[in-house]
Structure 1
Amino acid sequence: MKQTNNFPDVTAALAKNRCEAYLIVADSSNADMYFATKFLAGDPFCYIQTRNARDMMLISDMEKSRAQKESRIEEIVPLRFCDYKKRLKETADPGRAYGECIGQLLQNEGVRHVAVPRDFPVYTAQVLKEMGFTVNPIQSPLRKLREVKEKGEVNLIRQVQQANEEAMQAAIAAIKTAEIDDNKLFLDGQPLTASRVRRIIEHCLLDHDCRAHGTIVACGKGAADPHWHGEGPLLANEPIVIDIFPQHKLHHYCGDMTRTVTRGETTEQLQQMYDAVLAAQETALGMLKPGVAANDVHQAVCDVFEEKGYSTDAEKGEGYIHSTGHGVGLEVHEAPSIGLREIPLQPGNIVTIEPGLYYPQIGGIRLEDLVLITEHSYENLNTFEKEFVL
Structure 2
Amino acid sequence: MSRLDDVRAAMGRAGVDALWVSAPANVRALTGFSSGADGKVLVLAGEATLYTDARYTVQAREESSVPQHIARPPETYEHAAERVRGLRVGFEAEHLTVAGLEDLRAHWDAALVPTRGLVEALRRVKTAQEVAAIREAQALADRVFGEVRPLIRAGVREIDVALALELGLRRAGAEVGFDVIVASGPRGAMPHGVASERVIEDGDLVTVDFGARLRGYHSDMTRTVAVGTPSEEMRRVYNAVLEAEEAAVAAVRPGVTGGELDALARGILERHGLGEAFAHSLGHGVGLNVHEGPGLRKGSEDVLEPGMVVTIEPGAYLPGVGGVRIEDLVLVTEGGHEVLSRTPKENV
TM tier, shorter chain? over 0.9
Match of 1:203 among 156, 160, 167: 167
Take 1:200 and 1:53, find their aligned partners in 2: how far apart are those partners? Answer: 49
Q: Give the aligned residue type for 1:77.
A: H
Alignment of structure 1 residues 38-187 onto 2, 5 Å: 38-41=32-35, 44-50=38-44, 52-61=45-54, 63-73=56-66, 75-79=67-71, 98-99=73-74, 101-108=76-83, 110-118=85-93, 119-131=95-107, 132-175=109-152, 178=153, 185-186=154-155
Percent identity (aligned): 29
Please state how far the C-alpha of 1:261 moved relative to its aligned partner: 0.8
Aligned equivalent of 2:279: 321
Contact 1:242 1:258 in 2 (8 A): yes
Please state how far the C-alpha of 1:72 moved relative to its aligned partner: 1.2
Take 2:120 and 2:141, find their aligned partners in 1: how far apart are those partners? Answer: 24
Take 1:42 and 1:147, find their aligned partners in 2: how far apart are those partners? Answer: 18
Match of 1:288 among 244, 252, 264: 252
Please state how far the C-alpha of 1:13 moved relative to its aligned partner: 2.9
Taking a change above 3 Å as real, the CA distance of residues 65 and 222 of structure 1, as seen in their structure-2 partners, is: closer
Please state how far the C-alpha of 1:167 moved relative to its aligned partner: 2.0
Q: Give the aligned residue type for 1:71.
A: S
Alignment of structure 1 residues 299-338 onto 2, 5 Å: 299-310=263-274, 312-313=275-276, 319-338=277-296
Taking a change above 3 Å as real, the CA distance of residues 59 and 306 of structure 1, as seen in their structure-2 partners, is: closer
**Is 1:235 the counterpart of 2:209 in the alignment?**
no
Please state how far the C-alpha of 1:330 moved relative to its aligned partner: 0.5
Take 1:139 and 1:113, find their aligned partners in 2: how far apart are those partners? Answer: 15
Aligned equivalent of 1:222: 187
Match of 1:366 among 325, 329, 332: 325
Q: What whole-Å deviation, never above 9, does each CA across 1:135-174 have from its counterpart, x for those lacking one?
A: 2221131111110011110110011101111222123221
Taking a change above 3 Å as real, the CA distance of residues 129 and 110 of structure 1, as seen in their structure-2 partners, is: closer
**Is 1:256 the counterpart of 2:226 in the alignment?**
no
Q: Give the aligned residue type for 2:212.
A: P
Take 2:134 and 2:313, find their aligned partners in 1: how far apart are those partners? Answer: 18
Please state how far the C-alpha of 1:207 moved relative to its aligned partner: 1.7
Contact 2:312 2:327 in 1 (8 A): yes
Take 1:107 and 1:270, find their aligned partners in 2: how far apart are those partners? Answer: 64
Match of 1:378 among 337, 341, 345: 337
Take 1:244 and 1:78, find their aligned partners in 2: how far apart are those partners? Answer: 36
Take 1:307 and 1:160, find their aligned partners in 2: how far apart are those partners? Answer: 35
Aligned equivalent of 1:342: 301
Moved over 6 A (4+): none
Structure 2, unaligned runs of 5 or more = none
TM-score by length of 1: 0.83
SS in 2 for 1:10: helix
Take 2:83 and 2:119, find their aligned partners in 1: how far apart are those partners? Answer: 24
Please state how far the C-alpha of 1:297 moved relative to its aligned partner: 0.8
SS in 1 for 2:218: coil
Aligned length: 343
Please state how far the C-alpha of 1:230 moved relative to its aligned partner: 3.1
Taking a change above 3 Å as real, the CA distance of residues 9 and 53 of structure 1, as seen in their structure-2 partners, is: farther
Q: Give the aligned residue type for 2:26.
A: D
Q: Give the aligned residue type for 1:153.
A: E
TM-score by length of 2: 0.93
**Is 1:246 the counterpart of 2:212 in the alignment?**
yes
Take 2:36 and 2:29, find their aligned partners in 1: how far apart are those partners? Answer: 15
Taking a change above 3 Å as real, the CA distance of residues 205 and 22 of structure 1, as seen in their structure-2 partners, is: same
Contact 1:100 1:127 in 2 (8 A): no
Take 1:10 and 1:109, find their aligned partners in 2: how far apart are those partners? Answer: 17
Taking a change above 3 Å as real, the CA distance of residues 376 and 42 of structure 1, as seen in their structure-2 partners, is: closer
Take 2:175 and 2:159, find their aligned partners in 1: how far apart are those partners? Answer: 16
Taking a change above 3 Å as real, the CA distance of residues 345 and 110 of structure 1, as seen in their structure-2 partners, is: same
Contact 1:103 1:128 in 2 (8 A): no
Please state how far the C-alpha of 1:113 moved relative to its aligned partner: 2.0
Structure 1, unaligned runs of 5 or more = 85-97, 179-184, 187-191, 314-318
Taking a change above 3 Å as real, the CA distance of residues 148 and 111 of structure 1, as seen in their structure-2 partners, is: farther
Take 2:104 and 2:316, find their aligned partners in 1: how far apart are those partners? Answer: 50
Take 2:282 and 2:5, find their aligned partners in 1: how far apart are those partners? Answer: 29
Contact 1:100 1:128 in 2 (8 A): no
